[in-house]
Amino acid sequence: MLFRDSAAMVAAECLSGALFFRLTEQFVHVHGHRPGPSEVRSWERSIPVLASALNDAGLGQVEMLLEYGLPLNSKRADAVLAGKHPETGLPSYVVVELKQWSNAEPDDDDPSLCRIDSYARAVLNPVDQVRGYCEYLVSFNGALAEHPERVNGAAYLHNATEFGVRGLFETEQDQYGQLFIGAQRGEFIKFLRTKLGPDSGASAADELINGKIGPSKQLMTVAAQEVRDREQFVLLDEQQIAYRTVLNAVHRAKQSDHKEVVIVTGGPGTGKSVIALSLLGELYRRGTTALHATGSSSFTTTMRKVAGARKREVKDLFKYFNSFMTAERNSLDVLICDEAHRIRETSANRYTPASNRTGKAQIEELIDVARVPVFLLDEHQVVRPGEMGTVAEIEAAAAKKGLRCRVVPLASQFRCGGSDAYLRWVVRLLELEPGGPVVWEPDDKMQLMVVDSPQELEAFLDDRRSQGYSARMSAGYCWKWTKKVAPGQALPADVVIGGWERPWNVFGDRSVGGAPPAALWATDPAGFGQVGCVYTAQGFEYDWSGVIIGPDLVWRGDRWVIDRSASKDPVFKKSTPDSDVDRLIRNTYKVLLTRGMIGTVVYSTDAETRQKLRSLTDTASDVTALASDRMLPL
């Protein structure tokens, strides 16, 4: 949230011009950069209109929470109005999405999407946008979870006339999504009066702000219901656009013997796998032939185990990228390629029969097998030599076949508590973007600490687990890994740091001594106590993440030094260029440092590196305070 005050005070601040300076100042503090000119213009043109409507309605004491951040992700509602219900006197809230549009029309394929002249792509109908925000708040804010009737949603297109946006009214309206235009200002004021009373909304605002943050809906634990029964995730904004873009492409493919490619691209935690599962669940319920594929053994194995726990046929929905070498062209309606950045040059390996070695590129195989191949990827999560899934390569393969390719970018992220500031800190720390490391400024979304020993790291995480949170330890691949363990023997303690010794996670698909197989390390509670690596952590998330930075990445003087000789990762061959090793090791630690949903605890085996990390972090506070009392145990 960038600003909070009563509607009367917001109107006064708008009149003086001070509000927009304060919003800009707070935006810089929260996000680390200045807002774009278009965002500032939207504040200047829309906030005064909303404040004026509230004051004209006699609701000057209603609290306006401007640019209200949704919990556990980086999306912001334009305004949340907090007050007391005029009839019950109980807390009442209205989420408002403000648009300056004067003209907009529904998309030809889907009234939940719309077209406006200033955007090249379809955007979400603002009614569906604000409805998503309301549903998300009910799902994640304790003040509303038990009282969903207390929140309402409205999209206010204050510049629009009925002639300019008539088609937008075709979308369904309900408690969480009402549409008002400038020509209906009187109706909008009447609507506000039915939801909010004239008394002070300060206590209601306090209750919302202090509402306990509910646990994230862990991807793996709800996958069964997601695929079999109903949607468990609320898709917001560009996630909803990506979801509908795919469904509309499927509809076109069925109606006109049509084929096209869809690419969804976004960074860590932008919801790519959530979109993939939502699509798979919807297509499965419709009886559409669809499969999920990935290059990750851990992800595919986990999906098969969790989603197919009670329906064996569900397991068959989850495949690997190299499963389609001999598949017939267009034998599927949809193929959902999750983590497509892990696509390789070909599907063949040393075990592939000679009869299947076609020499065909893996990207081509994946495009050919379905009428609508969907690729979800993050080009900056490549951690192995030979991984090559990029937007450009997929577009080129589609163009070669004369196929239309739609690209949907995802911006908002849900990992790391939705903290854009933390993700920026990680990227700058590892110098994956220019500018060098910066000091971490604690925010109210993600927590970070540096410890002096692996014992301290493990003890802290174990304490969080005792409170009901999930937690895992992971490390750079800097210790040998015993791959074969004789039956009846315990996992050997390969990761040795001084007097602290712990095993790597199990290598392989069977449990050892109570430790889960590799694919389930990140999701099975018994995975705590083993140290995970990037290959078992990538694609997963847990509440608290402990990361051990090994001797392959050390700080010397004023820069990072990569020591490839310290890496025990067998994927690095003598022929792997130093520049590739440097990039992949930095990407490895980026993946490990972005697994936590609530907090990250970091330890480096190198004293100078620990000193550098401490200089960049605020560790003065008592570490026990890092588990916020606003968080609910999982």
Pair of tokens at residue 621: 């506070």
Question: Do the Cβ atoms of 538 and 378 come closer than 8 Å?
Answer: no
In this prediction, residue 630 has a pLDDT band, given cuts at 50, 70 and 90, of very low
Would you say residue 328 has pLDDT above 90?
Answer: no
Give phi and psi for 199, each to the nearest 5: -70, 165
Find the DSSP H helices in 308-390.
312-315, 362-368
Closest C-alpha among 476, 287, 502, 246 to residue 373: 246
pLDDT score recorded for residue 301: 79
CA distance 560 to 47: 45
Whether the predicted pLDDT of 350 surpasses 90: no
Average pLDDT of the chain? 88
Amino acid found at 60: G
Which residues have a Cβ under 8 Å from the Cβ of 392 and sit 6 or more positions away?
Answer: none
Residues 493-506 as b/e (b if ≥16 CB within 10 A, e otherwise) read ebbebeebebbbbb
Residue among 442, 450, 430, 427 nearest 547 (CA): 450
The arrangement of strands across the sheet holding 113-115 comes to 105-106, 113-115, 123-124
For residue 219, the model assigns a pLDDT of 40
Specify the range with the lowest mean pLDDT, choosing from 347-351, 433-437, 484-488. 347-351
What is 69-136 written as a DSSP string?
EPTTSS-EEEEEEEEE-TTT-SEEEEEEEEE--S--EE-SS-TTEEE-TT-SS-EE-HHHHHHHHHHH
What per-residue confidence (pLDDT) applies to 215?
43
Helix (H) or strand (E) holding 145, with range, is helix 142-145
pLDDT at 209 (0 to 100): 93
CA distance 74 to 445: 9
Residue 247 · residue 279 · CB < 8 Å: yes
The pLDDT, as a whole number, for residue 418 is: 79
Q: CB within 8 A of 90, min separation 6: which ones?
A: 84, 147, 150
DSSP state of 282: H
Higher pLDDT, 385 or 195: 195
Distance CA 598, CA 471 (A): 10
The greatest distance separating any two alpha carbons of the chain, rounded to the nearest whole angstrom, comes to 79
Query: 441-456 pLDDT, tens per residue?
Result: 888 789 999 999 999 9
pLDDT for 602: 98
Mean pLDDT value of segment 302-320: 70
Distance between CA atoms of 132 and 138, rounded to whole angstroms? 10
Tell me the per-residue pLDDT of 391-414, one tens digit each, with 9 for 90 and over.
Answer: 999 999 999 999 999 999 987 767
Q: How many helices (H) and strands (E) does the chain have?
A: 20, 24
| Nearest partner of 62 among 3, 2, 6, judged by Cα | 6
N- to C-terminal Cα separation, the chain: 25
Q: Is the pLDDT of residue 322 over 70?
A: yes
Most confident of 3-12, 255-264, 284-293: 3-12
Give the integer Cα–Cα distance in Å for 497 and 453.
9
CA–CA separation, 538 and 558 (whole Å): 29
Question: What pLDDT is recorded for position 619?
Answer: 46
Phi, psi of 474 (to 5 degrees): -140, 165
Q: What is the 3-state secondary structure (H, E, C) of 462-500?
A: HHHHHCCCCEEEEECCCCCCCCCCCCCCCCCCCEEECCE
Q: What confidence tier does 29 reach under pLDDT thresholds 50, 70, 90?
A: confident
Give the Å distances, CA to CA, from 65 to 5, 91, 201, 345: 7, 14, 11, 50
Cβ(606)–Cβ(453) below 8 Å: no
Q: Token pair 């290598």 is at which residue?
A: 507
Check the CA dihedral 501-502-508-511 and report its sign.
Answer: positive
Closest CA to 97 of 53, 149, 154: 154
Higher pLDDT, 328 or 78: 78
Q: What percent of the chain has pLDDT over 90?
A: 61
Per-residue confidence (pLDDT) for residue 268, from 0 to 100: 72
- For 563-610, how does the pLDDT look when each residue is reduced to its tens digit (9 = 90+)? 999 999 998 988 899 999 999 999 999 999 999 989 999 999 999 999
pLDDT of residue 226: 54
Give the model's pLDDT for residue 438.
93
pLDDT at 228 > cutoff 60 = no
Q: What is the pLDDT of residues 493-523, one digit of tens each?
A: 999 999 999 999 999 888 998 999 988 899 8
Per-residue pLDDT of 77-110, as tens digits, reads 999 999 999 999 999 999 999 999 999 999 888 8
Percent of the chain topping pLDDT 70: 90
Please say whether the beta carbons of 344 and 317 come within 8 A: no
The predicted structure's pLDDT at residue 378: 85
Q: Give residue-wise pLDDT tens across range 137-167.
A: 987 788 898 899 999 999 999 999 989 999 9
Strand partners, 77: 68
Query: What is the average per-residue pLDDT within 184-206?
Result: 97
Strand-pairing partners, residue 157, are: 99, 181
3-class DSSP state for residue 445?
A: coil
List helix spans (H) across 270-411. 272-286, 297-307, 312-315, 362-368, 391-400
Give the pLDDT band (50/70/90) at residue 381. confident
With beta carbons less than 8 A apart as the criterion, state whether 292 and 324 touch.
no
- What's the pLDDT tens digit per position in 229-260? 555 567 888 999 999 999 999 999 998 888 99
Q: Yes or no: say if 418 and 305 are a contact pair by the CB < 8 Å rule.
A: no
Alpha helices in 152-232 (DSSP H): 162-165, 185-195, 202-209, 223-228
